[in-house]
Amino acid sequence: MIKIETGKNFKIENLLSLRKKMSQKQVNEEIVKIQQFLKENGIRKDGPLINATYGVEVINGEQILDMEFLIPLDREVNLPKEYKFKKVLYLANSVYARHTGNPATLQNTYAQINKYVKDNNLQPLAPLYNINVKEANSPLEINDMIIDVYLPVNPCIL
């Protein structure tokens, strides 16, 4: 059982944003592409990788994810058309949980957060946001990952 907290806020500035529909293979390719872009342009990643999944659909038997990646940058920059620059991401009044371990079991954390939201009659305002606090730099480190999960909810009691 994970510890769920409420009323949590998360704020970060100067973000590269990429939102698109893609397969799991394309997700990995896009992350590599972003890393190459940053390196080639002397832009430094200045914080954790953040992602949100807006939807999932199956097309021709393949799972397609509508995802957004947010990468904090060391400064404000002009980006090519495929990326957007976001000055700030502020997740306010969020239900929060820390997932420790393999991201393959992240669905269990989501289920517990969603159950908490339902049991407490809360209204989500956005998708779940994953903030990779400790990333895996090799396959051996996959079970040591730490991912903070935020779900902004309506502060009003209706």
CATH (domain of 132): 3.20.80.10
Q: In this structure, is residue 157 part of a structural domain? A: no
DSSP E strands: which ranges in 23-83? 50-59, 62-72
pLDDT digits (tens, 9 = 90+) for 107-137: 999 999 999 999 999 999 999 999 999 988 8
Residues contacting 152, CB < 8 A, separation 6+: 91, 92, 93, 94, 124, 125, 126, 129
13, 88 in Cβ contact below 8 A? yes
Q: In this structure, is residue 158 part of a structural domain? A: no
- Nearest CA to 18 out of 3, 7, 32 is that of 32
Q: In this structure, is residue 54 part of a structural domain? A: yes
36, 131 in Cβ contact below 8 A? no
Q: In this structure, is residue 85 part of a structural domain? A: yes
Domain that holds residue 19: 4-152
pLDDT digits (tens, 9 = 90+) for 29-80: 999 999 999 999 999 999 999 999 999 899 888 899 999 999 999 999 999 9
How many folded domains does the chain comprise?
A: 1
- Angle at the Cα of 146 (from 152 to 86), degrees rounded to 5? 45
Of 3-12, 46-55, 140-149, least confident by mean pLDDT is 140-149
Q: In this structure, is residue 19 part of a structural domain? A: yes
pLDDT at 158: 67
- Angle at the Cα of 64 (from 63 to 67), degrees rounded to 5? 135
Tell me the pTM.
Answer: 0.91
Q: In this structure, is residue 25 part of a structural domain? A: yes
Q: In this structure, is residue 89 part of a structural domain? A: yes
